Each structure stands twice: as structure tokens, then as C-alpha cells.
């Protein structure tokens, strides 16, 4: 990578509107005095050269010099020290020292997945000490930049500290000059490697970049994208061919033949075998060329896969289940496989993936009877985890429209599928499980354009330190920081567990369409302690619990709620096997008459129903009342939390879920899961109302 001298970078970045100190250069220490003659003290002297990427650590910076002569003397001593250390010096930069102020870092690096990523944080020595930084994928908008600044733990100092004000607008302008649509990163295009201003000194009179670093890439990255595909036949093939099933020793190919047969696949199902007439009751054809199929599943050793794919011309989609490619260090095999797909004119899923699931289209990679067709879509880099999400989700009442696993993503990746699914009228919400997608830039654009709500679970978000990071920005921009940035920019809900992925998909499917014109969350149920804990949970999720309207208090007391005590949100109501199950509906109605809460979270202690009663009927009656509440307030998002559900006899939890979901009410086992789901839907609705999607 090409490293440019600081003074060259400063002269260049000034053309983007970034203020830099007045300065001059000198080839040798003896020339520094003359170079500094027209500058106003105090002065700064810096040495520059290819070995001086971090000047402070190398002793190549001197501050607070009172005259040109003092600057010349400092340069001479600096040059001697650097020469003694074996550090080459190309010259010296002398500048007017900026007035003290708040030091910030503004930089960008090229992430291997998402391309240019902007980093903003507290600068100077605090870059290492505090690592207080916010990231966004470039290009950024002014709104993005202001959100970044608000995210900093030290954000308060931007609005005045120890009597010193900061011109935040000037700082925003500097950040946009680096990462905005017309900024430094965009101007460099494929040449961009790294860029950093550290520190940018901010005060009441503006912001000045006192150090600048630019490193250009040796060669532009390959950011070619495959043309968009019509994936209809991927999810509803008229014919499926399985390559790799055995007549003697059952293997994965045989397993998939069994899956399709068990699922009742209505199209043409064939096995590809050079000699057999049939395998496991499925007719055989000698080659893929003889198969009438829209989808071919390949389950042969990795070394044979490319040849099989080359023979798949005329089949729109080929899935390679086999492993043993890039994930095991055999990048050569994976490159050959992708080339084979291009030669054959087919789209490739995998390698190292389980395939596709679509109950309505007859696609499956799971054993047993497919679930009922629904509206939820899933794209996963892991086939095993996708199977868990589908089966656990279906067990909880979710219904899937389309799911695709992409494994290593040598061809088809998450970005293309997100674009396709977002435009699919039969899809209500999209779930993602990602690790390191190759199509990061395209995925960022697809998520930003998505009109359907999207929730992502990301594996492997722990920091992978970059060896020999050339800048502080590079060291700060770890993978774990980029995903929250992408989520903030695109409106994607980012979750930390498989359970929350399923829970948010459920809430998106049932609630994302509701207008919910009100504000805040009303929490209603038994136990003051549970209400206090709920307050903490919803507050941590960024959700507001506004107080009850005055008009509701009188109505609630008339219902026998809050007699002898204050009424608040969370609202405590008597609820158990001997209480009136309709109270939850009447009390909530009284509150909603005075304030249009966007969300109502009704909770119940399941344990109490079976500690103080012997029948599930009162609990089921309560669930039906919660369902009736949703039906009576169709624009309000009603959520049910079954605390301590494991205390119910077998089958009761399922019956409660069924009763609630029949009216479009999602059900959770804990407040934390409910708060995550409510917050995700809230953010999606706010983004949609703001016109971002």
C-alpha cells in the first residue's frame, strides 16, 4: 500500500473543506528556520518518512516551540535521535500549533466484508486509552454522523466541558468531508486503503485537523456482482435431481431423497446414477443432462463437485451440500467450483450448505412433514442453525414461506436473496443468520433498500485483530463494531441469540403491519415486583413507559383496580385462577381511552394458576381475553408474556399460544424476549414513518 507524506495529505484534504494548520516543509534541519519564518508561534515540528507512520511513538514530534530558531534546533535534535535509531527521515514539517480543544479521531478503513467503514471517536491518546468510537459503513449522511456522535460514551463533552464549547456543526462537516457521498473515501474509490485525521481539535471557533494519514490500496478490490436472479424456481422447482445417492451404502444423497419423498414432493424427483434404474424407490437418470429439473442437489466428495456442476447446464439452480472447500482451507476447490457454475450458466448455492425450505413450493432439507406455509423468510449461512430456527419457530406457531442456506456463498449470497425476498408479496419479514458474508457491500445496500422488516443474528462478532494495522482507525474498526453500525444505518434489528431471532420474526410477522399511532408501552399484569423488573428491562431496551392518563385512574378504580394504592405503569391487576380474566381487557381499554399506547404487554404468572388452582381453564380464559383485547384494538400491538410457563402441565403452553396467536398476539416466556421484540418492531415502524423505507 502506498503511504503519502502528511503535508501532501493535508494539502489534498483541505480541498474537501477540512481546516488544517498553516505550515511549510524543509528537506533538512538546517532549512527549518527559513521554512518557519512566516509562521506564528507557538510552532510544531514533525519529521516525515516511510518509517514514521506513528510519529509520537517514534519521538518525531515537538510541540510548543516559541520561535523559528527554536523549531530549527528541535528539528536538528530530532533528526539526530531518529538517525541513531536507524529511522529514515525524508524531511520536516513545521506548522502553527492549534489552540487547545477537544481532540477527536475521524478515520476510515476498508473492511474485508463491507468495504469502507467510517470511525469517529475521542482522539489523541484517548484513542487507545478509551476506544470510545462509533462506526458507520460509507457513505454516510448528516443524520448518520449526528447519531454517531450521540453514541459516544463521551458525547457529553461535545456540548461543553469545563466551560469550553465545541462547534459540533464544524466537526460534523469534517466527518462528512471524509465519509460523506462527496468525501475523501468516495473520491478515492477503488484506490482507497485507509484514511485518518487524528487528532481533529475542536473548539468554539471550529475544527482543525492537525494530523492526517492516507494510505492508498495497491490494487482496487474486486467488487463484481452477479446479475440479479429470479429465484422463483429455487423455492418452487418443477423437478429436483439428487446427485450422490448410493445403491449400496446410504449417505446424504439417500437422506435427501427420503426427505423429498416424506414431504410429498409433487414434481419430478430423480436420482442421478450412471447404472441404477432406481434408488430407494426413486427413478434414476444417468446424468444431470438427462434430468428435467429446476434444482439439482449435489452430495459427492468435494473433489468431484466441480465436474458435476459443469454438467448441469440447463438447470437453473445447483446446490452443493458437500463440505471440504474454503472452510477447510481448500480455496482452490471453491474457486474451481464457482468457475464451473459460471461455465455451465447455473446459479450455485453453497458449497457446504443444506439447501432450501419452502412448504408451499415443495422444497425441504428437513425430515418429516413440512410446516404450514406462512409469510416468514430466512437466509442462513448455517444449514444446521437454519433447521433449528425453522423447527423451533414452527413449534412456537411461526410459519415459513421460504428459507435458503448459502454456506460458503461462492455464488449466491445473502444480498441477492434479501433483495428478492423483500420484493416478494408473500413475505412479511426476513430473518438472517450471518457470519462473514462475501457480498458485504451489496448486502448493506440491499438491507438499506429493504421494505420488509429484517432481523439479523450474527455469529463470530468477537474482535479479530488486524495484524500490522497501519492506523488507529484500523485497530478500532473490529468486526464486532461494524454490525451494530450497519443495523443502525439500515434499520435492521440486530439480536444476540437464536431465541431472539425467532421472537423478533414472530413480532414482525404479527405486528409490523399495525399502525400503532400511540406512544410508549403499557405493561399490565400481576405482581408489583414483576412490574419493577419489567420497568428495568424495557428501559434498557430504549422503550418508554409513560404514566397513566388521569382520566384512566377513576375508571380503573371503578373496576376495582388499585384500591387503596397508587396507579402507575406498569399497572398491577389481580390475576389468577379465581380472578376475573376479563379484567385485563377492561382495564387496558380504560387506559387506552385516555392515551393511545403503541404497545400493550400483558403478562401472567403461570405458576400461580397451578399453585392455587387445578385447572388450565382460567389461564386459557385469560389468553382468550388478551386475544379479544387485540381484536378490539387492531392498531395497537398487544404482546403476551407467560412468566414461569414451565410450571404448566404438558400441552397448556401450546394451547395458550394458539389462543393468543389466533388473534395475532405473539407470546414470549420472559420480559427480556418481549422487550427485544417490541423494540425491534418499534424501530422498524419509526424508520418506515420517517420515509427511510
Q: What's the pLDDT at 55?
A: 81
Fold classification of 515-689 (topology level): Rossmann fold (3.40.50)
Nearest to 474 by CA among 193, 674, 266, 132: 193
How high is the mean pLDDT of the chain? 91
pLDDT of residue 477 exceeding 80, the answer is: no
Q: Among 44-58, 459-473, 504-518, where is mean pLDDT lowest? A: 459-473
Q: What's the pLDDT at 439?
A: 83
- pLDDT tens track for 87-96: 989 999 999 9
Q: Grid coordinates standing for 126?
A: 484517548
pLDDT of residue 566 exceeding 90, the answer is: no
Coil, strand or helix at 277: coil
Residues 6+ apart with CB under 8 A from 605: 525, 526, 527, 530, 575, 576, 643, 644
Q: What's the pLDDT at 464?
A: 43
Give, for 357, the enclosing helix (H) or strand (E). strand 356-357
Per CATH, 232-508 and 515-689 having the same topology is answered: yes
Backbone φ, ψ for residue 123 (5° rounding): -105, -160
Coil, strand or helix at 76: helix
Q: CATH second-level architecture of 22-96?
A: 2-Layer Sandwich (3.30)
pLDDT of residue 222 exceeding 70, the answer is: no
460-464-467 Cα angle (round to 5): 160
Query: What is the arithmetic mean of pLDDT over 268-292?
Result: 95
Can you list the alpha helix ranges (DSSP code H) found in 131-215?
142-151, 168-179, 184-188
Asked if 393 and 509 touch (Cβ cutoff 8 Å), the reply is: no
Q: For the chain, give every domain's residue range.
A: 22-96, 102-216, 232-508, 515-689
Nearest to 639 by CA among 503, 475, 448, 441: 503
Coil, strand or helix at 615: coil
Q: Which residues pair with 521 in a beta bridge?
A: 599
Backbone φ, ψ for residue 402 (5° rounding): -150, 135
Give the C-alpha separation, 340 to 307, whole Å: 7
Burial of 15 (0-12, 13-18, 19+ CB in 10 A): exposed
Q: From edge to edge, which strands make up the β-sheet containing 356-357?
A: 356-357, 400-405, 376-380, 429-434, 454-458, 493-495
Query: What is the arithmetic mean of pLDDT over 628-645?
Result: 96
The dotted CATH code for 102-216 is 3.30.470.20
**Of all residues in the chain, what percent carry a pLDDT higher than 70?**
93
Write b or e for each residue in 70-84: b if 16 or more Cβ atoms lie within 10 A of its Cβ, otherwise e. bbbbbbbebbeebee
| CATH 3.40.50.720 applies to domain 232-508 | yes
Can you list the alpha helix ranges (DSSP code H) found in 216-367?
232-235, 252-263, 302-310, 331-344
- pLDDT tens track for 462-472: 554 333 333 44
What is the DSSP pairing of strand 268-272 with strand 212-216? unpaired
What is the DSSP pairing of strand 268-272 with strand 239-243? parallel
Q: What's the pLDDT at 130?
A: 67
Report the predicted TM-score, pTM, of the whole model to 2 decimal places. 0.89
Query: What is the arithmetic mean of pLDDT over 331-344?
Result: 96
Asked if 344 and 397 touch (Cβ cutoff 8 Å), the reply is: no
What is the DSSP pairing of strand 637-643 with strand 599-605? parallel
Amino acid at each position: 500500500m502506498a503511504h503519502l507524506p502528511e503535508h501532501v495529505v493535508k494539502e489534498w484534504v483541505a480541498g474537501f473543506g477540512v481546516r488544517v494548520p498553516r505550515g511549510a516543509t524543509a528537506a533538512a534541519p538546517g532549512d527549518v528556520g527559513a521554512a518557519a519564518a512566516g509562521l506564528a508561534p507557538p510552532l510544531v515540528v514533525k519529521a516525515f518518512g516511510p518509517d514514521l507512520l506513528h510519529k509520537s511513538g517514534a519521538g518525531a514530534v515537538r510541540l510548543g516551540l516559541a520561535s523559528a530558531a527554536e523549531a530549527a534546533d528541535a528539528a536538528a535534535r530530532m533528526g539526530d535521535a531518529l538517525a541513531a535509531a536507524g529511522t529514515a527521515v525524508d524531511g520536516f514539517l513545521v506548522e502553527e500549533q492549534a489552540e487547545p480543544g477537544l481532540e477527536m479521531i475521524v478515520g476510515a478503513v476498508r473492511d474485508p466484508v463491507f468495504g469502507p467503514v467510517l470511525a469517529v471517536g475521542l482522539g489523541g491518546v484517548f484513542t487507545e486509552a478509551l476506544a470510545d468510537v462509533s462506526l458507520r459503513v460509507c457513505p454516510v449522511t448528516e443524520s448518520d454522523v449526528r447519531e454517531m456522535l450521540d453514541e459516544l460514551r463521551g458525547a457529553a463533552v461535545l456540548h461543553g466541558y469545563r466551560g469550553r464549547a465545541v462547534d459540533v456543526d464544524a466537526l460534523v462537516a469534517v466527518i462528512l468531508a471524509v465519509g460523506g457521498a462527496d468525501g475523501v473515501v468516495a473520491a478515492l474509490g477503488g484506490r482507497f486503503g485507509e484514511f485518518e485525521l487524528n487528532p481533529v481539535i475542536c473548539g468554539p471557533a471550529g475544527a482543525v485537523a492537525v494530523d492526517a494519514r492516507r494510505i492508498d490500496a495497491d490494487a482496487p478490490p474486486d467488487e463484481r456482482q452477479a446479475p440479479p436472479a429470479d429465484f422463483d424456481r429455487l423455492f418452487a422447482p418443477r423437478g429436483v435431481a439428487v446427485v450422490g445417492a448410493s445403491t449400496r451404502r446410504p449417505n446424504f444423497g439417500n437422506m435427501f431423497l427420503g426427505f423429498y419423498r416424506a414431504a410429498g414432493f409433487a414434481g419430478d424427483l430423480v436420482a442421478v446414477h450412471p447404472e441404477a434404474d432406481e434408488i430407494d424407490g426413486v427413478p434414476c437418470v444417468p446424468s444431470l443432462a438427462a434430468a428435467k429439473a429446476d434444482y439439482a442437489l449435489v452430495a459427492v466428495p468435494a473433489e468431484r463437485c466441480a465436474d458435476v456442476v459443469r454438467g448441469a447446464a440447463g438447470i437453473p439452480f445447483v446446490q452443493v451440500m458437500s463440505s471440504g472447500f474454503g472452510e477447510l482451507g481448500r480455496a482452490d476447490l471453491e474457486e474451481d467450483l464457482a468457475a464451473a457454475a459460471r461455465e455451465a450458466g447455473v446459479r450455485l448455492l453453497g458449497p457446504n450448505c443444506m439447501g432450501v425450505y419452502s412448504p408451499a413450493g415443495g422444497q425441504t432439507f428437513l425430515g418429516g412433514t413440512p410446516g404450514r406455509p406462512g409469510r416468514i423468510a430466512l437466509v442462513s449461512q448455517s444449514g444446521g442453525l437454519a433447521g433449528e430456527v425453522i423447527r423451533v419457530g414452527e413449534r412456537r406457531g411461526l410459519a415459513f414461506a421460504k428459507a435458503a442456506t448459502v454456506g460458503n456463498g461462492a455464488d449466491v449470497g445473502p444480498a441477492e436473496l434479501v433483495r428478492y425476498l423483500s420484493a416478494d408479496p408473500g413475505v412479511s419479514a426476513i430473518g438472517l443468520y450471518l457470519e462473514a458474508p462475501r457480498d458485504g457491500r451489496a448486502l448493506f445496500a440491499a438491507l438499506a433498500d429493504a421494505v420488509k422488516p429484517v432481523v439479523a443474528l450474527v455469529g463470530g462478532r468477537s474482535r479479530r485483530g488486524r495484524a500490522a494495522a497501519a492506523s488507529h482507525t484500523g485497530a478500532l474498526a473490529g468486526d464486532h463494531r461494524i454490525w451494530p453500525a450497519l443495523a443502525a444505518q439500515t434499520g435492521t434489528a440486530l439480536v444476540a441469540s437464536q431465541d431472539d431471532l425467532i421472537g423478533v420474526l414472530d413480532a414482525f410477522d404479527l405486528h409490523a403491519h399495525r399502525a400503532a399511532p400511540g406512544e410508549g408501552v403499557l405493561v399490565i399484569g400481576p405482581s408489583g415486583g414483576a412490574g419493577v423488573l419489567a420497568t428495568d428491562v424495557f428501559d434498557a431496551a430504549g422503550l418508554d413507559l409513560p404514566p397513566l392518563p388521569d382520566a384512566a385512574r377513576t375508571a380503573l378504580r371503578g373496576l376495582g383496580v388499585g384500591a387503596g394504592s397508587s396507579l402507575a405503569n406498569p399497572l398491577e391487576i389481580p390475576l389468577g385462577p379465581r380472578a376475573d380474566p376479563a379484567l385485563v381487557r377492561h382495564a387496558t381499554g380504560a387506559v387506552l381511552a385516555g392515551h393511545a399506547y403503541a404497545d400493550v404487554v400483558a403478562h401472567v404468572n403461570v405458576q400461580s394458576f397451578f399453585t392455587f388452582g387445578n385447572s388450565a381453564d382460567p389461564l386459557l380464559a385469560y389468553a382468550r381475553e388478551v386475544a379479544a383485547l387485540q381484536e378490539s384494538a387492531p392498531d395497537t400491538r398487544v404482546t403476551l408474556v407467560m412468566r414461569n410457563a414451565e410450571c404448566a402441565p404438558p400441552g397448556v403452553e401450546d394451547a395458550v399460544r394458539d389462543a393468543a396467536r389466533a388473534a395475532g398476539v405473539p407470546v414470549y416466556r420472559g420480559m427480556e424476549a418481549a422487550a427485544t421484540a417490541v423494540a425491534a418492531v418499534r424501530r422498524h415502524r419509526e424508520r418506515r414513518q420517517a420515509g427511510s423505507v
